[in-house]
């Protein structure tokens, strides 16, 4: 299956969350690949701690492939190549985890018929080998998003499930922006219909992921003054209402990822060791990634509307 990660605003946590979800899904035993389609700033190499490609590759990445300069884009086996020793070597029972990096200094490009065809070919190629292909787009309405919308509407990819995750932070501005990206003018659904998708089917394959959410009930907030807690709870209620009005209420939310101290400081994978041995990350964060990784592939989570 294809899972496409997008967001309206930049810096929502889209890449960090998707990388962690790819990692968790691989730990759960699936074969996973991660495609960095954020051609302007391909940062996934840094999140997987693969130093030579931390800002994209020089060895023929997705950008070069789509432009027809190379026959196949570079693949990096994350288990073998990550610089983090605790992540190196595939744990027993885990699936493959492969990164297809973007190119250094790639930049955006407009879509042509050839590029569309190469993109479709690539997806078919990867679906042969991987249970899950995560495609990380750039923020906002991009050519890459248009390209993926068009590719998933091609005859070759009919019948292959593709699901969209729209990431947003849990604030007024972000809720409104995320809603606009999906339902607004030139939004996902409208643009998708123009590319040949059935609007209803497309709408059913979109879910939202709230990132870096502060849970007002959490024990870390135990030190807050009662007035602060009341204020937070009120804000939260207002946001819930706002989200509902903008069609991203509860049933549309696939996951809520808590604010995590490690991710606040650094873009990285969170291993179980970070939680249990060094205790720098929160167990709730890993649990949320783990659950999202399961729900992505769980048909029931997508049927309940």
Ligand X SMILES: Nc1ncnc2c1ncn2[C@@H]1O[C@H](COP(=O)(O)OP(=O)(O)OP(=O)(O)O)[C@@H](O)[C@H]1O
Binding site for other proteins (CB under 8 A): 29, 31, 71-72, 92-96, 120-121, 124-125, 127-131, 155-157, 159-160
Q: How many CA atoms lie within 13 A of 167 on its CB side?
A: 26
Residue pair 211/263 in contact (Cβ under 8 Å)? The answer is no
Which CB, 159 or 226, lies closer to other proteins? 159
Smallest gap from residue 131 Cβ to other proteins (A): 5
Which CB, 92 or 226, lies closer to other proteins? 92
Q: How many Cβ atoms are within 10 Å of 16's Cβ, its own excluded?
A: 26
| From candidates 6, 15, 30, 54, binder to ligand X by CB under 6 A | 15
Smallest gap from residue 158 Cβ to other proteins (A): 8
Which CB, 133 or 177, lies closer to other proteins? 133
- CA dihedral sign, ordered 128, 132, 137, 141: positive
Residue 205 found at the interface with Mg ion (CB under 5 A): no
**Contact partner at residue 211 from other proteins, Mg ion, ligand X, none, CB < 5 to 8 Å by partner kind:** ligand X
Residue pair 102/61 in contact (Cβ under 8 Å)? The answer is yes
Residue 211 found at the interface with ligand X (CB under 6 A): yes
Cα separation, 191 vs 181, in Å, equals: 10
Cα separation, 205 vs 189, in Å, equals: 10
Roughly how many angstroms between the first and final C-alpha of the chain, as a whole number?
20
Smallest gap from residue 126 Cβ to other proteins (A): 10
Q: Which stretch binds ligand X (CB under 6 A): 70-78, 98-106, 182-190, 261-269?
A: 261-269
Task: Return all residues near 282 (Cβ < 8 A) that are at least 6 apart.
Answer: 258, 260, 261, 275
Cα separation, 277 vs 62, in Å, equals: 37
- What does residue 55 show for φ and ψ, rounded to 5 degrees? -125, 40
What are the E-state strand segments in 137-218?
Answer: 162-169, 206-213
Q: Which stretch binds ligand X (CB under 6 A): 89-97, 145-153, 243-251, 257-265?
A: 257-265
Q: Which stretch binds ligand X (CB under 6 A): 4-12, 54-62, 98-106, 123-131?
A: 4-12
Smallest gap from residue 21 Cβ to ligand X (A): 11
Residue 15 found at the interface with Mg ion (CB under 5 A): yes
Residue pair 210/255 in contact (Cβ under 8 Å)? The answer is yes
Binding mask 156-195 for ligand X (x = CB under 6 A): ----------------------------------------
| From candidates 46, 212, 275, 296, binder to ligand X by CB under 6 A | 212
Binding-site ranges for Mg ion (CB under 5 A): 15
């Amino acid at each position: 299956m294809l899972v496409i990660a997008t967001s309206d605003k930049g810096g929502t946590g889209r890449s960090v969350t998707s990388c962690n979800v790819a990692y968790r899904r691989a730990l759960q035993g699936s074969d996973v690949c991660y495609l960095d389609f954020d051609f302007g700033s391909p940062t996934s190499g840094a999140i997987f701690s693969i130093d030579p490609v931390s800002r994209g590759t020089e060895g023929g990445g997705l950008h070069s492939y789509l432009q027809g300069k190379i026959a196949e884009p570079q693949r990096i086996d994350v288990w073998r190549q990550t610089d983090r020793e605790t992540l190196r070597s595939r744990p027993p029972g885990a699936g493959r985890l492969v990164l297809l990096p973007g190119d250094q200094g790639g930049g955006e490009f407009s879509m042509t018929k050839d590029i569309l065809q190469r993109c479709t070919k690539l997806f078919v190629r990867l679906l042969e080998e991987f249970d899950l292909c995560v495609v990380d787009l750039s923020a906002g309405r991009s050519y890459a998003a248009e390209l993926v919308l068009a590719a998933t509407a091609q005859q070759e990819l009919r019948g292959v499930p593709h699901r969209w995750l729209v990431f947003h932070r849990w604030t007024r501005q972000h809720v409104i922006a995320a809603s606009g990206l999906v339902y607004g003018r030139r939004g996902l659904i409208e643009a998708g219909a123009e590319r040949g998708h059935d609007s209803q089917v497309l709408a059913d394959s979109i879910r939202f992921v709230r990132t870096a959410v502060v849970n007002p009930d959490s024990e870390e907030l135990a030190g807050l003054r009662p007035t602060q807690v009341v204020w937070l709870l009120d804000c939260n209620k207002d946001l819930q209402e706002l989200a509902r009005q903008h069609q991203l209420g509860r049933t549309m939310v696939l996951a809520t990822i808590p604010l995590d101290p490690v991710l606040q400081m650094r873009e990285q994978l969170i291993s179980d060791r970070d939680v249990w041995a060094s205790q720098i990350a929160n167990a709730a964060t890993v649990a949320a990634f783990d659950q999202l990784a399961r729900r992505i592939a769980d048909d029931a989570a997508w049927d309940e509307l």
